[in-house]
Structure 1
Amino acid sequence: MVAGTAEAHTSSDTGMSPEEELPDDGKIFACAEAPYQGVNSQEAFDYSSDGKKISMRVGPVADTLEALHAEDEHFDIVFIDADQRDAVHYYSFVMDNHLLRMDAVICVENTLMKGQVYLENVSDENVILPVQSGLSIVRRIPVPPDAVIESKEEVVRDDVFWGYNRRRILDRLRLDGKVAYVTGGGQGIGRAFAHALGEAGAKVAVVDLVLAKAEAVVSELSLKGIKSLALAVDVSKPEDVQRMVDAIVARWGTVHIACNNAGINLNSASEETSLEEWDKTFSVNLRGLFLCCQAAGRIMLNQGYGKIINTASMASLIVPHPQKQLAYNVSKAGVVKLTQTLGTEWVDRGVKVNCISPGIVDTPLIRSKELRPLVQRWMGDIPAGRLARTTDLQAAVVYLASEASDYMTGHNLVIEGGQSLW
């Protein structure tokens, strides 16, 4: 959300108006002192297809700020023209009444006179960064732990107030400096996990049975500036799993986050399930996952820290229908029990083991003409009224990989739109 004078939003040196650069749910409050300014500005806004994002407020700016405060509005950016007579009062009102969101900024135009800030008799410890001639960026400095806070109410200065280890909650979700791998990372859920972990700051090894798929995801990550590595691995083979871990350690020194996501599903009726199908399913879904947990776990236990996230399934809780998938269901139930066991064995040594159980995920495969009737049946079983998207799972993997989940272990995090409740 943005607030500022009306003149600030009629043009831009970048060739784009601010409302065009806002997200779809963004808002701008434009403040105009004189009625004619409001009319002229509104005419300019109406030319833009994004003009609906702008709320025009006409009248004394001080009154507008009072009204916005009463409406409990908070802003990501506030624009102030220092040439205005009461600019300092506007600035003080915004700061004193906490109209800025956390990490928000104030942009102040016309602040410099001969290269110096010319606001007289103003003492402010907040960051004032002159960006270019006459334009400054102001951002509130976080309150230091030893600061004296004046308040009419007694303030409890504990970890909730300051943040655990003096880190705000969103900072605790960051994965900067961490090394992660994702098996089955070349498509679907694994691809979404790789992007999520990378966006949160981790270096990511994308692991897949097919090297070309892993390389394609690595190419995507590189476009976002994410350090990544493509590896071809058959997780059912111990030598492949060890080679995977060795390659990651050789590149980045260690493994902090193990995302064991590779899996297969071969549907058949129970009485027709062959031993070959049973063994193949368990070889990837449970044996392979165990091998990955063990190989990564040894490194994590040695360093006293690690996060293991296994992909289970809603099928670990219920028997999905009408499809027949005995081997898959049982193997995923095994993933949950393996997770619970390792979660209790390793937690006191710094390694937390959890799993995610997705519901039915929307992929191009299940949108085929042959499976369309089955999809309609599934939709009727899901309270949310839709299939899961891979993006529905991304925040969960970041949470489980971060320090924010340090007290969680052996947990099965179910994300299935409520399907297991019916």
Structure 2
Amino acid sequence: MPHFAELSIGSIVENLKKAREVAHGHPGIPEELGCYLQKALDAAGGLDLYLTREASSNRTTSSKYCLLNVQFSEMKVKTNEEQLSSYAEGQLHRMLVHMTGAKTILIIGRLKVPSILAMAELVPEDSSITICATQPHFGESSQEAFDFSAHGNKMRAQIGPIMDSLEELAAVGKDFDIVFIDADQRNPAEYYRFVMENHLLRMDGTLCIENALMKGEAYLENTADENVLGVKKLNQVINSDPHTEQVVLPVEGGLILLQRSRICADEETNLGGVVKDDVFWGHRGRRILDRLQLDGKVAYVTGGGQGIGRAFCHALGEAGAKVAVADLVLAKAEAVACELRLKGIKSIAIAADVSRPEDVQRMLATIVDKWGTVHIACNNAGINMNSPSEATSLEEWDKTFNVNLRGLFLCCQAAGRIMLNQGYGKIINTASMASLIVPHPQKQLAYNASKAGVVKLTQTLGTEWIDRGVRVNCISPGIVETPLIHSEELKPLVQCWLTDIPAGRLARVTDLQAAVVYLASEASDYMTGHNLVIEGGQSLW
């Protein structure tokens, strides 16, 4: 991995050159030693050239982080080699943020500005990068430099004694997903202890120690360099901490990635007074966020080509499931499946009319042929047609019930047979707030009645199948904001609806995503036949 291999090759090459010169200058040194030195120099020089070329060939966005484009009198113009080094380091830090999903970052000491800008570009808009340093990165123009970036609003510098800054952060309860500590400064071990003891690093956060090897100087036996001695002490403190796991990356200066480890089993007897049960250790040894993961699970979502169904597909996929996107219109299903694949989620698209038994059977057969089984059935397909009750036609009634209730029953039954046979499954049906109240002023008799039927069907299956390992629940959304909602025709209705919603806004599809993941996961194993209402309080008024 060339970007991670920003090794101290340059230093090795320089020292080998000096060794070769010494060897050539002393006739008493064996010729064989000179040959070996030359071979080592050739190998190191070749690797150095390879890494430089690789970094250069992959500089698709290096101009974003190249400091030559930022004009500040305090800044020194960097050489080409330094630019490549800064870019590679920035890409490494960017990848760390991407892999950890970090939103809040703390930097203690000096970190190269390209790295800071690379991370700032990746973190969400509501995130922050806090920098604690004794001196500004660019003298008095530090904040001006950050403001130059389009993401400067995410960065905040606290200049002054670092320990004072850390104490301020701890006093207001701040914690961070990633903490960077520059080891090349005075007392880095003190900062490490403070971060860990005051929980500035979140439980599952990542701590990065920059310059942890000081280009090999930290291994020197005899040194009086105060910063090198500080790095040595920091390494000793880290290595003696039994509550952490670490890996050392041989990038320039050395980088240690560190996380808190689970409490070791042999510590169980040394936790006097602590109740050591499933709450402490986690159910089956799994933490709560682990229990929400859907890794290895197979899911399908009907009506997955748009709206709520599309949001459910993304949520289940992001939680780890493989997702079959089913929709009446194949093109819509394929578009969502493509979106999922762009995010690295395994997916397939299936065209299906859920009101047709043969389509439902074909949908399940396709999924089983592809992935072997089905663990999560998300029956979301539905339609809504409005008309006064006295004018509701039998055709409208039948069409609404065929999709909303008949189709949902067919899916529950077909998926349920697979799940009952394997002894495990989660069925999640999309009902509606209309199953609880009569939304107004729109007139939708068939829709309201069909969604009430979804809830009763869910309750019945939920009680019948739970003792055989299958849980059946439903979600009842409120009025969901869609492009159609903003049409001129519906504007008067929207104003009326908003007066009935304590939350003061319509639901968004993203408001429903966590619910479907919870109901699909093992965390909800004791819930069945439940109607989970998510409507901003509208059914309470």
TM-score (norm 1): 0.93
Residue 124 (structure 1) aligned with residue 225 (structure 2): no
- Name the SS for the 1:395 alignment partner: helix
* C-alpha distance in 2 between matches for 1:106 and 1:178: 31
Q: CA deviation at 1:306?
A: 0.2
Q: CA deviation at 1:249?
A: 0.5
Aligned residues: 419
* C-alpha distance in 2 between matches for 1:358 and 1:36: 50
- Asked if 2 retains the 8 angstrom alpha-carbon contact of 1:361 and 1:387, the reply is yes
Instruction: Report the more deviating stretch, 75-84 or 175-184.
Output: 75-84
Q: Which runs of 5+ in 1 are unaligned?
A: none
**Per-residue deviation, residues 318-372 of structure 1 (Å, max 9, x unmatched):** 1111111111111110000000000000011110000001111111223222222
- Asked if 2 retains the 8 angstrom alpha-carbon contact of 1:300 and 1:306, the reply is yes
* C-alpha distance in 2 between matches for 1:359 and 1:237: 28
Name the CA shift for 1:36/1:392 in 2 (closer, same or farther; >3 Å): closer
Residue 11 (structure 1) aligned with residue 11 (structure 2): no
Q: CA deviation at 1:17?
A: 4.9
Residue 238 (structure 1) aligned with residue 340 (structure 2): no
Q: CA deviation at 1:391?
A: 1.1
The equivalent residue for 1:142 is 262
Instruction: Report the more deviating stretch, 78-87 or 245-254.
Output: 78-87
The equivalent residue for 1:195 is 314
* C-alpha distance in 2 between matches for 1:363 and 1:22: 27
TM-score (norm 2): 0.73
Instruction: Report the more deviating stretch, 348-357 or 139-148.
Output: 139-148
Greater length-normalized contact order (CA 8 Å, ≥ 6 residues apart): 1
Q: CA deviation at 1:392?
A: 1.0
Name the CA shift for 1:291/1:17 in 2 (closer, same or farther; >3 Å): closer
**Per-residue deviation, residues 250-290 of structure 1 (Å, max 9, x unmatched):** 10000000000111112111111122221111111111111
Q: Which runs of 5+ in 2 are unaligned?
A: 1-103, 220-231
Q: Which has the higher helix share?
A: 2
**Per-residue deviation, residues 192-240 of structure 1 (Å, max 9, x unmatched):** 1111111111111111111111111111111111111111111111111
* C-alpha distance in 2 between matches for 1:343 and 1:324: 30
Residue 74 (structure 1) aligned with residue 183 (structure 2): no
The equivalent residue for 2:43 is none
**Per-residue deviation, residues 129-177 of structure 1 (Å, max 9, x unmatched):** 22313222222222234424766x7221111111111111111111110
Name the CA shift for 1:36/1:252 in 2 (closer, same or farther; >3 Å): closer
Identity of paired residues, percent?
A: 71
Amino acid of the structure 1 residue aligned with 2:492: P
Q: CA deviation at 1:53?
A: 3.6
The equivalent residue for 1:280 is 399
CA RMSD of aligned residues (A): 2.2
Name the CA shift for 1:271/1:177 in 2 (closer, same or farther; >3 Å): same
Residue 28 (structure 1) aligned with residue 129 (structure 2): yes
* C-alpha distance in 1 between matches for 2:136 and 2:466: 65
**Per-residue deviation, residues 20-67 of structure 1 (Å, max 9, x unmatched):** 433222233322235897735334334345444444333332333233
Amino acid of the structure 2 residue aligned with 1:250: D
Bigger Rg, structure 1 or 2: 2
Instruction: Report the more deviating stretch, 77-86 or 396-405.
Output: 77-86
Matches within 5 A, 1:82-161: 82-113=183-214, 115=216, 118=219, 119-120=232-233, 121-122=236-237, 123-125=240-242, 126-131=244-249, 132-134=251-253, 135-148=255-268, 154-161=273-280
**Per-residue deviation, residues 3-22 of structure 1 (Å, max 9, x unmatched):** 223532x61158x3544433
The equivalent residue for 1:327 is 446
- Name the SS for the 1:12 alignment partner: helix
The equivalent residue for 2:434 is 315
* C-alpha distance in 1 between matches for 2:537 and 2:134: 52
Residue 162 (structure 1) aligned with residue 281 (structure 2): yes
The equivalent residue for 2:7 is none
Name the CA shift for 1:116/1:172 in 2 (closer, same or farther; >3 Å): farther
* C-alpha distance in 1 between matches for 2:377 and 2:461: 13
Amino acid of the structure 1 residue aligned with 2:108: T
The equivalent residue for 2:524 is 405
- Name the SS for the 1:267 alignment partner: coil
